A = this chain, B = another copy of it.
Amino acid sequence: MINTILHENTLAGNAIVGQSGGPTAAINATLAGVIRGVLDEQRADGRIPHLYGMRNGVDGLLREDIIELDSVFAPDADGNYTALDTLTLTPAAALGSCRRKLPAPGAADEAEVMDKLFSILEKYNIRYFFYIGGNDSMDTVAKVSAYAEKIGYPIRVVGVPKTIDNDLVGTDHTPGFGSAAKYIAVTMQEILRDTAVYTVPAVTIVEIMGRDAGWLTASSALGRLISGQAPDLVYLPERPFSHEEFFEDVRAALDRHPNVVVAVSEGLQCADGSYVGEGTQSGAVDVFGHRYLAGTAKALELAVKDKFGCKVRSVELNLPQRCAAHLVSAQDIEESLEVGRCAVVAALSGVTREMMTIRRVSDAPYNFEVGHEDIRKIANMTRAVPDEFINGRGNNVTDECLAYLLPLIRGERYPAFDRGLPVHWIF
């Protein structure tokens, strides 16, 4: 069995790491964790002579667009990892990303693409393959590891999760989510202050990322546990959206106070499966077949204006949700680094075809530990917000939901600034 060979902990050779999928404010922290893990190994055992980075994920790998990382991020004479610290708090994917889906087993182009990929891995003597990404990236991990087994190429392939959407199964939560959740929760507090200044009735509708899962939208309500300040209404894509009930909810909220704030997920769908933002969306799909949505809040803004005639504003939080590295969760950054570092440790001990996971050990005080899970149980599955985290009416989240979310946004960590602007790492 090839697995027996792989699980021996003596495999020696180079490592490569790539980033894939949508960027986050913490994905470079995970990359920094992988780099740190390899640098530590080099000083300990020296089984991984070099760490390479693929530019733009498997896209760059197939073009042999590869850079060496271990020399770039080696500690300075005083033992400080200054460059790695800068990388850690740089938003987006410093190596570049891609959305390429590798051919399915048995597809016409499978051998061509995969043989090309493995010839490049062999050329660089790659024995460790780390891929940081979301659901679609775990699909890449599954295919690379399956093909390696099929052709008998000795390599350990480990997926390192990141996604602001928090929708991967097998892990308590995903690196990157806590920082996005914190940005959303903080920004919602600020929007609540902003909308409170006038006395004329007004409805503000805030659109939050999350195509299929409402985790980020749920995070907008976190202030309820702390300052008591939260949006009046919170709608997640896990429940069918009813315009009629929505209008009733808004009317009831306007009866209570003049400044109504509503949080909506970009992926809200009506009971018939149509998207709430459909009227204002492009209808385009991305390469994975996901429909591209835009304008859920805008569509509801027009509907509320039409129904109530009051002042209505829509705010789409947009890209800053995933790239606001100036406001990250210290907890999320710590975990992102640790998951990356542990991926190297796990691969060295023989782990392959697995995704790193985070297990919540305790809530008060919050503690976590890093583990790993068979990629075949994880790839191409999504984890929705469970029923008990949403109230009966489907217009808010429960305190149980907020208690789950709260530890993930704790702590602040700020990048270095130069003359007023944050210092980012750029290759």
Which residues of A does B touch, CB under 8 Å? 19, 23, 56, 59, 90-93, 96-99, 182, 185-187, 189-191, 193-194, 196-199, 222-223, 225-227, 229, 313, 315-320, 322-327, 329, 406, 409-412, 414, 417-424, 426
Query: What are 29 A-to-B residue pairs whose CB atoms are below 8 Å?
Result: A19-B197, A56-B199, A90-B193, A91-B190, A91-B193, A92-B190, A92-B196, A96-B197, A98-B199, A185-B420, A185-B421, A186-B421, A189-B421, A189-B424, A190-B323, A190-B324, A190-B326, A193-B323, A193-B424, A194-B323, A226-B420, A227-B421, A227-B423, A229-B426, A315-B318, A317-B320, A410-B419, A411-B420, A412-B414
A193 and B23: CB pair below 8 A? Answer: yes
B325 and A197: CB pair below 8 A? Answer: no
In the bound assembly, the distance between CA atoms of A122 and B136 in angstroms comes to 70
A329 and B420: CB pair below 8 A? Answer: yes
In the bound assembly, the distance between CA atoms of A11 and B323 in angstroms comes to 54
In the bound assembly, the distance between CA atoms of A325 and B327 in angstroms comes to 11
Among residues of B, the one whose C-beta sits closest to the C-beta of A424 is: B193
With most chain B CB atoms within 10 A of its CB, the pick from A323, A411, A426 is A323
Q: Which residues of B contact A227 (CB under 8 A)?
A: 418, 421, 423-424, 426
B23 and A197: CB pair below 8 A? Answer: yes
In the bound assembly, the distance between CA atoms of A218 and B182 in angstroms comes to 28
A194 touches which of B19, B91, B187, B326 (Cβ 8 Å):
B91
A23 touches which of B194, B329, B406 (Cβ 8 Å):
B194
Q: Which residues of B contact A422 (CB under 8 A)?
A: 186, 189-190
In the bound assembly, the distance between CA atoms of A327 and B412 in angstroms comes to 12
A288 to chain B, nearest CB (A): 14
Q: Which residues of B contact A196 (CB under 8 A)?
A: 92, 96
Quick one: given A194-B92, A324-B187, are A421 and B226 in contact (CB under 8 Å)? yes
In the bound assembly, the distance between CA atoms of A23 and B197 in angstroms comes to 7
Quick one: given A186-B326, A222-B420, are A97 and B23 in contact (CB under 8 Å)? no
Q: Which residues of B contact A315 (CB under 8 A)?
A: 318-319
In the bound assembly, the distance between CA atoms of A59 and B200 in angstroms comes to 11
A191 and B319: CB pair below 8 A? Answer: yes
Across the A-B interface, give the 3 residue pairs with the lowest CB-CB distance, nearest first.
A409-B420, A92-B193, A97-B197
A182 and B23: CB pair below 8 A? Answer: no
A209 to chain B, nearest CB (A): 12
B97 and A320: CB pair below 8 A? Answer: no
In the bound assembly, the distance between CA atoms of A427 and B379 in angstroms comes to 50
Q: Which residues of B contact A225 (CB under 8 A)?
A: 419
A58 to chain B, nearest CB (A): 13
Q: Which residues of B contact A186 (CB under 8 A)?
A: 326, 421-422
Extra inter-chain contacts (13) besides given A225-B419, A229-B426, A315-B318, CB under 8 Å: A56-B198, A91-B193, A91-B194, A92-B194, A185-B420, A187-B320, A189-B424, A193-B323, A193-B424, A222-B421, A227-B426, A316-B316, A412-B417
A277 to chain B, nearest CB (A): 13
Among residues of B, the one whose C-beta sits closest to the C-beta of A312 is: B282
A46 to chain B, nearest CB (A): 32
Q: Which residues of B contact A97 (CB under 8 A)?
A: 197-198
A131 to chain B, nearest CB (A): 15
With most chain B CB atoms within 10 A of its CB, the pick from A56, A96, A198, A325 is A198
In the bound assembly, the distance between CA atoms of A426 and B97 in angstroms comes to 43
B327 and A226: CB pair below 8 A? Answer: no
B190 and A320: CB pair below 8 A? Answer: yes
A192 to chain B, nearest CB (A): 9
Among residues of B, the one whose C-beta sits closest to the C-beta of A90 is: B193
Among residues of B, the one whose C-beta sits closest to the C-beta of A417 is: B412
A169 to chain B, nearest CB (A): 25
Q: Which residues of B contact A324 (CB under 8 A)?
A: 187, 190
A399 to chain B, nearest CB (A): 14
A259 to chain B, nearest CB (A): 10
